[in-house]
Structure 1
Amino acid sequence: MIDSSISAETIESAISWLAGFTEKPGEQGVTRPLYTKSWKQALFALRQRFEKLGMTVEFDQVGNLIATVEGCEKPESIIACGSHIDTVSRGGRFDGQLGIVAAYLAIKNLLTRYGKPKKSLRIVCLAEEEGSRFPYVFWGSKNFFGLAKKEDVENICDSEGVPFETAMREAGFNYQTTQPKFANLEAWIELHIEQGPTLYSNHEDLGIITSIAGQHRWDVHLKGVQNHAGTTMMSYRHDAVDCMSHIIAKNLDKAKKAGDPLVLTFGRISVVPNQVNIVPGEVTFSMNCRHTDKAFLDKFLQELDEDIHETAKSYGITAQIDKWMSDDPTPLSDDIINLLKDQANKQGYAYRVMHSGAGQDTQIFAPFVKSGMIFVPSKDGISHAPEEYTDPQDAVHGVKLLRDALHSLAYED
């Protein structure tokens, strides 16, 4: 008899099984980037599991895996759930993977207890979200809605020089050349680990997500004057690193005063010539800023832009800013949020209404489909590392909430 229970044991068993598909079996963590051998093996193994539930399973052209159980009354109305199958290098067992396991266990439980739904239920295993192999993110969800562009990837390679197109075709997939086949959804819910410390630190069962933070990423290049570190007095210097330090310290202080949910991060610093006895002539550094309110974020970034140029001018150096990523905040569906809150209240879960500071596939879904997200706690807030961990007993609450929401949407409506 098939075990259709939602328990710590069934979650741990499924997570361990899926985590076994990795490029480096003898290494800690899970490494399963897009279009690798382990990536393909994981998807085909999931395909078999979904087929055993009686689901119709298909791949789209780029490698998204879609499993559907047709509704008996309104099959054209489709309620979907899932997450991404790819991982970062030496990542944890839960990021993305728990969302797929949750969708599988929730629908398995529903089919066993209630039979076929009135509306169709669908699991979507998205091909890629992380950008861990190639410099491109959301390849799965963007293709799901026909948003990806061939020109964005046709000339990129991975760290070993393998072209994107070569990897894709060797895995048996190609560009999306037809209209999206599976995107006509009525609702979408993604369960995900928090990847932060809030739920775990506050001993809360769940997070119900209201929005996904907008984020901007810049590369800032400062060009001063390279000179001798011993003979160039401080008052004569045009030191690019000194200027950068002033910009970073001032604006981090400003961000701390602004408070949550604003986050500001500087990093990936490259100094030229980067030697101990030379005043640095050039420096390039990255900036990442996130907030849930577009107006606040835009204002903060405008002031940051002005401060970078004004500070550079005061040092007698030039500043150039490459604003290479600009994503607005994404609000999620009030209907799905309220449904999740109602179901959580019925079960007596301790939950927090919160936003996601990390980018998520759901932000691609939300403009097209009524969308919601469930967070479960991440131990010590650790993610993208082998130590990433969610207690399976904590995950039980999230999977059951997903199940109850799917039941309401697909069986009761």
Structure 2
Amino acid sequence: MRIDIDRDRLVEMMEDQAEIGAIDGGGLDRLTLTDADREVREWFRDHMEAVGLDVRVDEMGNMFGRRPGTEPDAGTVLLGSHLDSQPHGGIYDGPLGVISALEFVRTLEDEDIQTAHPVEIVNWTNEEGSRFQPAMMSSGVWAGEIPREEAYRTTDDEGKQFVDELERIGYRGDVPAEPQYDYDSYLELHIEQGPSLDEENRDVGIVTGIVGLRWGEVTFRGQANHSGTTPMHYRSDALVAASDVITQVRRIPGTLGERTVATTGVVDVAPSSINIVPAEVRFTVDLRDPVDDVADEAVERVKDEVQAAAAREDVEWEYETRMEAKSVAFADRCVDAVRSAVTTLGYGGKELVSGAGHDATYTARVCDTGMVFAVSEAGKSHTPEEYTSWDDCYKAANTLANAALDLAGDADAGAERNG
């Protein structure tokens, strides 16, 4: 059976959410657990309740909306993504998946379709990890991979604790942050955040898995001194050591796998004065590869470079693991459901592995999981310039809806076959 979502309603919902936390020139600044996040959560709750969903909020602020199935013992089919954004991010990253999940349920209601399996939609808290690390924190707690109390103690750059901010916005629910039902499967729609679909003129991405991700923080500790009176051979310069390593972080991927990538995104220098030799430098390292052994090798290569640079510059060093997410291969049945939907709808699809982490990383620990990608024009994401046309949004959302119905089962169609 084929279904078609309401394109105009999808666009209207996307435009409405984009006004909450909007920034000049387009884009979003809707960091998790901020006032803007609270506002979009209230907006989303209202829409879930309006369509008749049973809404619950767990201890991590994850928001679920449940629609019953005709077979009470059947496992639940879960769909969703996240509503938080990066600082100065785009309007599609995350919200498109949440709103497409809601639109699937609305289409079921419009067409009076009863599913055999219960269906739930979800807004995961703090997928981005830009205010509180690690990323995908709350789906990680839900899946039993991250301790709840450890997540609660996490602080932002201002020293505010996650749990305090969760309570401040009124979204520390009393439902345990763990699966409340038996889950059959999970589907997540997301923009690709890469250029391959756009470059190859494909409509939809059929995602087969997610790369392994390693986040680390390097600290070099040298000695502050006067930049004019301290001879070069007396110096213990933390920034020189850091610069050497950061250059190698850029070069290491070329010596490993074809899909290996590495980035230094944050650098903090102290005392950060024009005429003082830097005493301490902290910087982040983001390493990714579809093969976990390659990602682990990249970490070891970075550590080797850190140790060598510290010896050259006579500084102390430390490497702290900030996050580790293993690569994920999605369940064949979920990938097949997405592939079948693409074929049924007559879209041009491409199979690919996600280079970005998603909440699907952790749901795959709980149930069969799959993903749908929408086109990212020029591959831009985490910037106000992020763009996916409404036609491409619609095609991806329509694919999600048909794949989800495949997994959830049309109860009426099943009754007709059995009759």
Normalised-by-shorter TM-score class: 0.7 to 0.9
Residue equivalent to 1:126: 124
Judged with a 3 Å threshold, the aligned counterparts in structure 2 of structure 1 residues 345 and 222 are, in CA distance, closer, same or farther, namely same
C-alpha RMSD of matched pairs (Å): 3.0
Q: Offset of 1:61 from its aligned partner?
A: 4.0
- Aligned twin of 1:263: 261
CA contact (8 A) 2:185 2:369 kept: yes
Q: CA deviation at 1:10?
A: 2.7
Moved more, 281-290 or 78-87: 281-290
Closer, same or farther in 2 for the Cα pair 1:365/1:245, shift >3 Å?
Answer: same
Choose 33-42 or 344-353, whichever is displaced more.
Answer: 33-42
Of residues 104-113 and 32-41 in structure 1, the stretch that sits farther from structure 2 once superposed is: 32-41
Indicate the percent of aligned positions where both proteins have the same amino acid.
28
Distance 1:136 1:304 in 2: 20
Which AA in structure 1 matches 2:264? Answer: F
Q: What residue is the counterpart of 1:9 in the other structure?
A: 8
When structure 1 is superposed on structure 2, of 94-103 and 114-123 the one drifting more is 114-123
Matched, 1:299 2:288: no
Relative to structure 1, is the Cα distance of residues 279 and 150 closer, same or farther in structure 2, using a 3 angstrom cutoff? same
Q: How big is the shift at 1:278?
A: 5.0
- Deviations, residues 381-405 of structure 1 (Å, cap 9, x unaligned): 2222322221010112111111111
Counterparts of 1:162 and 1:244 in 2: how far apart (Å)? Answer: 28
Cα distance in 2 for residues equivalent to 1:357 and 1:114:
38
Conserved 8 A contact 1:266-1:288? yes
Cα distance, 1:179–1:396 mapped onto 2, change above 3 Å: closer
Q: Write the distance in 1 (CA, Å) between the matches of 2:274 and 2:172.
A: 49
Q: Which region of structure 1 is more displaced relative to structure 2, 245-254 or 213-222? A: 245-254
| CA distance in structure 1 between the partners assigned to 2:96 and 2:356 by the alignment | 16
For 2:5, give the aligned amino acid: I
Superposed counterparts of 1:48-197, under 5 Å = 48-74=46-72, 76-113=74-111, 115-159=113-157, 162-174=160-172, 178=176, 180=178, 182-197=180-195
| Matches of 2:156 and 2:217, distance apart in 1 | 21
Cα distance per residue 1:347-376 (max 9 Å; x no partner):
332222112222211111011110011111
Q: For 2:250 and 2:183, how far apart are their aligned partners in 1?
A: 42
Q: Secondary structure at the match of 1:319?
A: strand
Aligned partner of residue 31 in structure 2, secondary structure: coil
Does the 8 Å contact 1:69/1:116 carry over to 2? Answer: no
Relative distance call for 1:276 and 1:179 in structure 2 (3 A) is: closer
**What is the alpha-carbon distance in structure 2 between the residues aligned to residue 132 and residue 249 of structure 1?**
24
2:286 paired residue number: 288
- Whole-angstrom CA distance in 2 between matches of 1:190 and 1:370: 12
Q: CA deviation at 1:132?
A: 3.8
Q: 1:146 to 1:171 in 2, by over 3 A?
A: farther
Shift of 1:71: 1.3
Report what 2:18 is aligned to.
19
Distance 1:309 1:164, change over 3 A: closer
Question: How much has 1:100 moved relative to structure 2?
Answer: 1.2
Pairing partner for 1:410 from 400, 408, 411 = 408
* Cα deviation, residue 73, structure 1: 3.2
The residue that corresponds to 2:203 in the other structure is 205
1:346 to 2:333 alignment: no
The answer on whether the counterparts of 1:144 and 1:182 sit within 8 Å (CA) in structure 2 is no
Q: Distance in 2 between matches of 1:155 and 1:110?
A: 40
- The one-letter code sitting in structure 2 at the alignment partner of 1:377 is V
Q: How far apart in 1 are the matches of 2:65 and 2:210?
A: 26
Name the counterpart of 1:370: 368
Go from structure 1 to structure 2 and tell me whether the alpha carbon gap of 1:165 and 1:51 turns closer, same or farther (over 3 Å shift).
Answer: closer
DSSP-derived class of the 1:386 partner: coil
How many Å separate the matches in 1 of 2:43 and 2:407? Answer: 28
The 3 A distance-change label for structure 1 pair 354 and 310 is same
Secondary structure, in 3 states, of the residue corresponding to 1:116?
Answer: coil
Which residue matches 2:417? Answer: none
Rounded to whole Å, the distance in 2 between the matches of 1:332 and 1:85 is 23
The answer for the alignment partner of 2:213 in structure 1 is 215
TM-score (norm 2): 0.85
Instruction: Return 5+ residue gaps in structure 1 as ranges.
Output: none
Letter in 1 for 2:325: D
Tell me which amino acid in the other structure corresponds to 1:171.
I
